[in-house]
C-alpha cells in the first residue's frame, strides 16, 4: 500500500509537496481503512482541482518515478520535466520519495535525479520499524567524484560478498542511469534471500505491481476476461451492470495481415516481430494487441500468427459491435472494469481522470464497487477527477479528499479537505462550488470578438 508520497521540482510542483494516505481521526466509513501493525492506512483518495491546476502532474510524478525504478533513466524523457517557470530549477534536483507497505513491512524509498544530466544523483531505502523509525537498507550517492554506497544491515559472509560486488559496480559509474534497487532485484536469486535482499525484493516488486493509468491508457487486464469463457461471461455481466447495453463479449477470427496493414509502415514490422518474440520466448501463450479501433488476441501456432477480434453482443449475436462502435464511456469502462477483479488481490491503482467520458453515476458506482470487492485486502484506488458530485461524505471520508490549486506563481499546492475541519454533515459539494475550499477555476471577463477583429 502507498502510505505517503513526496515530490519536489517536477512539472508544476516546484516546492516539496506531500501526499499522505495515513488516516486521520475521522470515524465515518471505517471500512475505508486498512489497519496494519497499528497504523491506519486509507484505501482510497480523490484529488480535485481546476483544469491546469496540477492534478495530472501528481499522477505523472508517481508514474515517472515508477519508470525510473523499473527501466532506469534511459526509460524516461527528462526534457522539460522540471518546474520550467524558474530558470534555476533545471539545475536543481528532482526528488521522489515513497513510504509504502510491502511484504508486511514498511519502507521509505526515494530518488533524487538531475534533469540536466539525465542521471540519478542519490537513492535510498530505509526499513521503517516501530514508531516509523528507520534502519538504512542502503543509501547511494553519485553526486560527488567519489560515489558511495552504505548500509546498516548485517550480512552472512556469502551475502556480504554478493553485496560488495553490487557496491563496486554501483560506485564505478559517475553518470548513474540505473537504480541500485533494480540492479539488486534483477541480479539476485529469490530463493532463500538474506534479509537485505528480501527488503530490496519487497520494494522493487511493489513498484512492478503498481498500476498507473492515464486518460489514454489502454489497460491490458481485459485479456483474461476474454480468454476464459466463464470470466468472459462475468465481464459481460459487469459491463451490462453499468448500463452499456452490452450483454456479452465474444471473439471473431480475423486476418492478421489485414490488421497489420492498417498500422503505420514504420511500426508494422517492429510490432509484428515483437509479438512473435514475446510469444515464442516468454511464458505467454496469448498476447493482446490494441489498435485505435479494436482489441485483438494474438497467438503464434505452427509458425503462423492467428488473431481474434474482441466484439460485443448488444442483443443480436449476428450483429457484433467492434470497440470502435462503442461510446467513449463504454471504451473507458473496457479499460477500468478489469481492475475490479484485481482489487481483491491487494492492487494499488492510480488513475488520472477517473471520470473521463463517464456519467457521474457511473463514476460513483465504480467507487462503490471498489469498496465492495476489495474489503479485507490491501488494495487502494487513488484518482484525480473533475466530478464534484462525488464530494459526498456519505460516499467518502474527509481525509480521502484532496485539492490542488495553482498559485499566482504558477506553482501547484496540494492540500487535504481535513485542513478545513469540515463536519460530517456538511454539504461539501455545495461548499466546494461556492469556493470555500479553493481549487476552482477563476474566469476573467470575456471580450467578444467583433467581425472586424475576426
What is the rounded distance in angstroms from the CA atom of residue 284 to the CA atom of residue 290? 17
Instruction: Give Cβ neighbours of residue 243 (< 8 Å, ≥ 6 apart).
Output: 362
**How high is the pLDDT of residue 449?**
66
Question: What is the reported pLDDT for 283?
Answer: 65
pLDDT given at position 450: 63
CA distances to 218, 237, 413 from 296, in Å? 12, 21, 42
Instruction: List, in order, residues 6 or more apart from 358 with CB less than 8 Å away.
Output: 329, 332, 333, 366, 387
CA 300-252-261 angle, 5° bins: 65
Give SS3 for 56: helix
Indicate if 206 and 251 belong to the same structural domain: no
Of 324, 117, 308, nearest to 223 (Cα)?
A: 308
- Residue 163 falls inside a structural domain: yes
Which three cell numbers mark 373? 470487492
Predicted confidence (pLDDT) per residue in 23-73, tens digit: 999 999 999 999 999 999 999 999 999 999 999 999 999 999 999 999 999
Task: Assess if residue 433 is contained within a domain.
Answer: no
Per the CB < 8 A criterion, the answer to whether 326 and 315 are in contact is no
The owner of cell 559509474 is 173
449: helix, coil or strand? coil
What pLDDT sits at residue 266? Answer: 77
β-partners of residue 384 are: 47
What pLDDT score does 284 carry?
72
Closest among 205, 5, 179 to 99, alpha carbons compared: 5
User: Is 270 found in the same domain as 232?
Assistant: yes
**Domain shared by 68 and 180, yes or no:** yes
Which residues in the chain come in under a pLDDT of 50? none
| Cα–Cα distance, 227 to 221 (Å, whole number) | 11
**Does 386 fall in a domain?**
no
Residues 192 and 312 in one domain: no
In this prediction, residue 320 carries a pLDDT of 93
Task: Give the closest residue to 139 by CA, choosing from 180, 172, 178.
Answer: 180
pLDDT for the residue numbered 452: 64
Separation in Å, CA 65 to CA 106, 184, 382: 19, 18, 16
pLDDT of 454 reads: 54
User: How many domains, the chain?
Assistant: 2
- Position 294 scores a pLDDT of 86
Dihedral over alpha carbons 341, 347, 351, 356 (to 10 degrees): 10
Q: What is the pLDDT of residue 233?
A: 81
| pLDDT score, position 192 | 83
Q: Three cell numbers at 30?
A: 471505517
CB 393 within 8 A of CB 424: yes
Strand ranges for 345-441 from DSSP E: 348-351, 380-384, 401-406, 412-416
| Torsion sign (Cα): 396, 398, 402, 408 | positive
Give the DSSP H/E element, type plus range, for residue 186: helix 180-187
The pairing of beta strand 287-290 with beta strand 295-301: antiparallel
Q: Please say which residue of 282, 297, 327 terminates a domain.
A: 327
d(CA 174, CA 119): 9
State the first-to-last Cα distance of the chain, in angstroms, to the nearest integer: 54
Pick the last residue of a domain from 212, 234, 269.
212
For residues 117 and 225, membership in a common domain is answered with no
Helices 360-373 and 328-336, packing angle to 10 deg: 10
Is 191 within 8 Å of 178 (Cβ atoms)?
no
- Domain identity same for 276 and 308: yes
Residue 274 phi, psi (nearest 5) = -65, -40
- 231 with 207, same domain: the answer is no
63, 214 Cβ separation under 8 angstroms: yes
Structural domain for 53, as ranges? 49-212
One domain, residues 226 and 322:
yes
Q: What is the pLDDT of residue 11?
A: 98
**449 domain-assigned:** no
Detail the DSSP E strand segments found in 163-232.
Answer: 211-213
Question: What ranges in 219-337 are assigned the alpha helix state H?
Answer: 223-227, 229-241, 256-261, 265-281, 328-336
The residue length of the chain stands at: 454
Residue 231 and residue 207 share a domain: no
Q: Residue 335 in contact with residue 211, Cβ under 8 Å?
A: no
238 phi and psi, to 5 degrees?
Answer: -65, -40
List strand residue ranges (DSSP E) for 302-400, in order. Answer: 304-313, 348-351, 380-384
pLDDT at position 445: 78
Of 191, 212, 233, the last residue of a domain is 212
116 with 164, same domain: the answer is yes
Residue 312 half-sphere exposure toward CB, CA atoms < 13 A: 23
Whether 191 and 222 map to the same domain: the answer is: no
Same domain, residue pair 72 and 180:
yes
Is 416 a domain residue?
no
In a domain, 54, yes or no: yes
Amino acid at each position: 500500500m502507498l502510505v505517503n508520497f513526496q515530490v519536489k521540482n517536477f512539472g508544476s510542483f516546484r516546492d516539496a509537496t506531500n501526499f499522505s494516505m495515513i488516516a486521520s481521526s475521522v470515524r465515518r466509513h471505517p471500512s475505508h481503512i486498512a489497519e496494519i501493525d497499528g497504523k491506519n492506512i486509507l484505501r482510497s483518495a480523490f484529488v480535485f482541482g481546476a483544469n491546469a491546476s496540477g492534478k495530472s502532474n501528481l499522477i505523472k510524478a508517481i508514474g515517472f518515478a515508477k519508470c525510473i525504478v523499473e527501466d532506469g533513466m534511459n526509460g524516461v524523457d527528462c526534457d522539460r520535466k522540471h518546474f520550467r517557470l524558474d530558470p534555476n530549477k533545471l539545475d536543481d534536483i528532482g526528488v521522489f520519495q515513497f513510504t509504502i507497505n510491502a511484504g508486511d513491512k514498511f519502507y521509505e524509498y526515494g530518488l533524487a535525479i538531475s534533469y540536466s544530466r539525465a542521471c540519478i544523483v542519490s537513492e535510498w531505502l530505509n526499513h521503517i520499524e516501530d514508531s516509523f523509525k528507520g534502519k538504512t537498507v542502503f543509501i547511494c550517492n553519485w553526486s560527488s567524484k567519489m560515489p558511495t554506497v552504505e548500509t546498516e544491515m548485517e550480512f552472512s559472509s556469502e551475502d556480504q560478498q554478493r553485496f560488495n560486488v553490487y557496491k563496486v559496480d554501483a560506485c564505478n559509474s559517475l553518470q548513474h542511469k540505473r537504480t541500485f534497487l533494480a540492479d539488486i532485484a534483477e541480479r539476485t536469486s529469490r530463493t532463500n534471500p538474506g534479509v537485505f535482499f528480501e527488503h530490496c525484493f519487497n520494494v522493487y516488486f511493489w513498484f512492478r505491481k503498481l498500476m498507473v493509468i492515464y486518460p489514454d491508457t489502454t489497460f491490458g487486464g481485459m485479456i483474461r476476461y476474454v480468454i476464459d469463457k466463464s470470466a468472459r461471461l462475468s465481464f459481460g455481466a459487469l459491463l451490462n451492470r453499468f448500463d452499456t447495453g452490452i450483454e456479452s463479449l465474444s471473439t471473431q477470427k480475423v486476418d492478421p495481415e489485414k490488421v497489420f496493414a492498417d498500422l503505420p509502415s514504420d511500426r508494422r514490422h517492429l510490432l509484428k516481430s515483437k509479438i512473435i518474440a514475446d510469444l515464442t520466448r516468454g511464458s505467454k501463450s496469448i498476447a493482446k494487441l490494441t489498435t485505435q479501433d479494436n482489441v485483438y488476441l494474438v497467438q503464434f501456432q505452427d509458425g503462423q500468427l492467428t488473431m481474434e477480434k474482441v466484439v460485443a453482443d448488444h442483443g443480436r449475436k449476428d450483429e457484433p459491435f467492434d470497440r470502435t462502435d462503442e461510446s467513449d464511456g463504454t471504451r473507458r469502462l473496457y479499460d477500468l472494469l478489469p481492475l475490479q477483479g484485481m482489487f481483491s488481490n491487494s492492487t494499488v491503482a492510480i488513475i488520472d481522470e477517473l471520470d473521463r467520458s463517464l456519467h457521474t453515476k457511473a463514476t460513483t458506482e465504480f467507487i462503490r464497487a471498489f469498496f465492495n470487492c476489495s474489503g479485507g485486502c490491501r488494495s487502494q484506488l487513488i484518482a484525480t477527477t473533475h466530478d464534484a458530485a462525488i464530494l459526498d461524505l456519505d460516499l467518502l471520508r474527509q481525509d480521502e479528499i484532496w485539492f490542488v490549486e495553482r498559485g499566482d506563481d504558477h506553482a501547484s499546492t496540494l492540500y487535504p479537505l481535513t485542513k478545513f475541519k469540515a463536519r460530517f454533515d456538511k454539504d461539501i459539494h455545495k461548499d466546494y462550488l461556492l469556493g470555500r475550499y479553493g481549487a476552482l477555476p477563476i474566469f476573467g471577463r470575456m471580450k467578444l470578438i467583433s467581425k472586424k477583429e475576426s
